[in-house]
Structure 1
Amino acid sequence: MKTFQGKTAVLTGAASGFGLEVARLAAAQGMNVVMADVQQDALDKAAAEIRGLGAKVLPFRLDVSKAAEVEALGAATVQEFGVPHLVFNNAGVAFGGLIWEHSLKDWEWVVGVNLMGVAHGVRVFTPLMIEAARSNPEYEGHIVNTASMAGLLNSPNMGAYNVTKHAVVSLSETLYQDLHLVTDQVDCSVLCPYFVPTGIHESHRNRPKDSLTGAKPTASQLVAQAMSAKAVTSGKVTAQEVAQKVMNAVRDHQFYIYSHPQALGMVQKRLEDVVMGRNPTDPFEAKPEIGADLRKALRAPQG
C-alpha cells in the first residue's frame, strides 16, 4: 500500500495490545479508524484516545465469534467510511492445558474467537475489497490476520491455542494464493508474534458467561496460565514495535510478519522433522529445566 492518508482501517481487538498500537499508527498516518472490541469500557477509552490524535473513529462493540456481529461491522464501516483499505483481523484469546482436558465449551470459545473471528473477517471484508478494486484501478487493500508463533510450532500444554493458530496461518496462506488468482490490488499478511506484553494472558476476563463450564480449572490449565503470564509479561519486544512491523509489511507487501525472527530456528527444526519423518523434537531441548519443571508439575499427585 503506497499511502495511508485518507484511507480506512478496520481493527478487531482494537482496545488493547496490537490492535490499539496499530490504531495509533494508523491515526498518525491520517487514516480513518474503525475500532472493534468485545470490552466496551476499554473500547470507549481507546476510541477517545485515537480521536484525540485527530482521526475519525468508529467504535464498534462486537464478539468476533458471532457471524452476524462481524457482518454488522462490515455494514457499519461501509456506511461510515466506505470500503476499508486495511483490515486487521486481530482479536484473539489464549487458553492452555492438556489437550484432552479441554471441554466442549473451551473448544467452542477458543475456536470461535481465534479461528472463526478471522474467518468471519475474511468472509465479510474480502468481497467488498475485491469489488472496490474492480471498480477503481487506484484502490489498494490489505488484510492482516493475527496468528502466532504457535501457528508454526506446537508447544505442549497449549492444545486449543496451537490448533487455532495453525489454522489461521493456513487460512492466511490460502487467502494469499486465492487473492493473487483474482486481483493485484488486494494483498494479505499473517502476523506470527512470540511472547509480547499485550494482556492476552488475561483473556479469561472477557470470556462470555455462556461459554463457562462451571468446573474448576484443571492442574494443567493452571500451570499453562501461570507459564503464559510469566512468558508474556517478561517479553522484551513491545506491542508498539510489532505494530510498526505490521504497518511496514502492509506498505511493503510482506506476507510473514515475525516479532522474534530468532525463534525461526525452532520452526526450521519442526519442518525438518516433518520432511525427514522424524518424531517431533523435544521443544525443551535448549532449556531442559523448563521441560523438567513442567513434567514434574503435571505428574504430581492431584487432589
Structure 2
Amino acid sequence: MISDFKNKTAVLTGAGSGFGLECARIGAKLGMNLVLADVQQDALDKTVAEMQAAGAQVLAMRVDVSKADQMQAFAEAAFQRFGAPHFVFNNAGVGAGGLVWENSLKDWEWVTGVNVMGVVHGVHFFTPKMLAAAKADATYQGHIVNTASMAGLLNAPNMGIYNVSKHAVVALSETLYQDLALVTDQVSASVLCPFFVPTGISQSHRNRPDELKAQDKPTQSQLIGQAMSDKAVGSGKVTAAQVAQMVFDAIAANQFYIYSHPKAIGSVQTRMEDVMLARNPTDPFAHKPELGVELKKALRG
C-alpha cells in the first residue's frame, strides 16, 4: 500500500504504449520519478519526451524483458539513479493465437519469454532492493503489480500459449503476495487481469525478435486468432487510461485482484464450479452460440 506517490519512484515495463504509458502519465501527474523500459525504441522515446515535458524525472532504457542480463542492468541503473523503487509494474506482454499444437516452439519461446520470464525477471531483480529499503526505513512502502489477463483465470479456445503464460503470472503473483506477507508488512503485490482493452497487444508481433520469428506461414487457426484478437481488443469500451487509474487506486487500497471488467468474473465462477464439481469444461460460447458455430465452421472447413 502506498499512501502518497509524490517523489516516489515507479518502474514501468512496456512503457511505450497501453497500460505502461498510461501509468507513466498518472505517475508524472502525481510527481513520481519514472524508470521506463520498452523494447520499441521510438515508442519509448515518445513516452520519455512527454513525461519530461510534464516535469517528471525520467530514466529510460530499451529493454527486452525476456533477457535476464538486460533486466539486471535495468534494475541496477534504476537503483543507482533513484534508489529502491516504490512501485514496480511488470507489464510488458505479447499475444499469440492459434490451436495449441499448431503453434511453433519459437511461438512458445517468444510468448513465455516475455509474458512469464519478463515478470519473473522483474520480481527477481527488484524485490530484494525493495525489501532492503523496507528493512532500512520503517516508513518505506512498496508495491509490485504484475500484468496478467482474464486469460490468466479463463481458458478461451484458440489462445493456448497466451492462456498458459497468463495463468503463470496469476500463480506467480498470488504466491508473491503470500511470500511477501511472510517477511514484511511494508511491501505487497497485486495482479492486473484486464479483459479486452484497446492497447497495442494485438499487434505485439511488430516487436518479435528475428531469432524467434515464425518460419512458416500462419495457419488458418492463427489467422483466425489474430482476427478475433484485433476485433475484440479494438472494440473494447474500457480504455487503457481507465485501467491505469484502477492500478493506482488498487495500490493505494492494497487491493490484490484488479479487474477492468468485473462482469467477466461470472465466467471465472463457472470455470471454478467446473473444477469443484469435476465436470467437463463449460462451453465458452454458451452465451453466444453463433460465435462457436462460426469458429468450428472456419476451422473444420
| TM bracket, shorter-chain basis | over 0.9
Paired position in structure 1 for 2:126: 125
Note the alpha carbon deviations across 1:31-79, whole angstroms, 9 max, x for none: 0001100000110011100111110011110100000000011000011
Note the alpha carbon deviations across 1:121-165, whole angstroms, 9 max, x for none: 000000110011001101000000000000000000000000000
TM-score by length of 1: 0.98
Report whether the alignment pairs 1:267 with 2:272.
no
Note the alpha carbon deviations across 1:72-119, whole angstroms, 9 max, x for none: 110000111111000000000010100011111110000000000000
Q: Which amino acid aligns with 1:71?
A: Q
Paired position in structure 2 for 1:233: 234
Paired position in structure 2 for 1:14: 15
Paired position in structure 2 for 1:39: 40
Distance 1:238 1:23 in 2: 15
Distance 1:274 1:213 in 2: 35
Q: Which amino acid aligns with 2:99?
A: L
Distance 1:52 1:271 in 2: 47
Q: Which amino acid aligns with 2:124?
A: R
Q: Superposed, which structure 2 residues align to 1:49-88 within 5 Å?
A: 49-88=50-89
Point out where structure 2 has 5 or more consecutive residues left out of the alignment. Answer: none
SS at match of 1:95: coil
1:199 Cα deviation from its structure 2 partner:
1.3
1:246 Cα deviation from its structure 2 partner:
0.1
Distance 2:151 2:214 in 1: 25
Distance 2:200 2:71 in 1: 23
Q: Which amino acid aligns with 1:121?
A: G
Displacement over 6 Å in runs of 4+? none
Paired position in structure 1 for 2:247: 246
Report whether the alignment pairs 1:98 with 2:99.
yes
Distance 1:276 1:104 in 2: 34
Distance 2:230 2:163 in 1: 17
1:213 Cα deviation from its structure 2 partner:
3.0
Distance 2:118 2:154 in 1: 21
Distance 1:104 1:151 in 2: 21
1:195 Cα deviation from its structure 2 partner:
0.3
Point out where structure 1 has 5 or more consecutive residues left out of the alignment. Answer: none
Q: Which amino acid aligns with 1:70?
A: M
Between 205-214 and 86-95, report the one with greater CA deviation: 205-214
Percent identity of equivalent pairs: 67
Note the alpha carbon deviations across 1:153-211, whole angstroms, 9 max, x for none: 00000000000000000000000000000000001000000000001000000000110
Q: Which amino acid aligns with 1:3?
A: D
Paired position in structure 1 for 2:166: 165
Paired position in structure 1 for 2:282: 281
Report whether the alignment pairs 1:299 with 2:300.
yes
Q: Which amino acid aligns with 1:247?
A: F
Q: Which amino acid aligns with 1:219?
A: Q
Paired position in structure 2 for 1:186: 187
1:214 Cα deviation from its structure 2 partner:
1.9
Distance 1:298 1:54 in 2: 52
Q: How many residues align?
A: 300
Q: Note the aligned Cα RMSD (angstroms).
A: 0.5
Distance 1:4 1:261 in 2: 26
Distance 1:146 1:27 in 2: 20
Paired position in structure 2 for 1:142: 143
Distance 2:127 2:277 in 1: 37
SS at match of 1:14: coil
Q: Which amino acid aligns with 1:249?
A: A
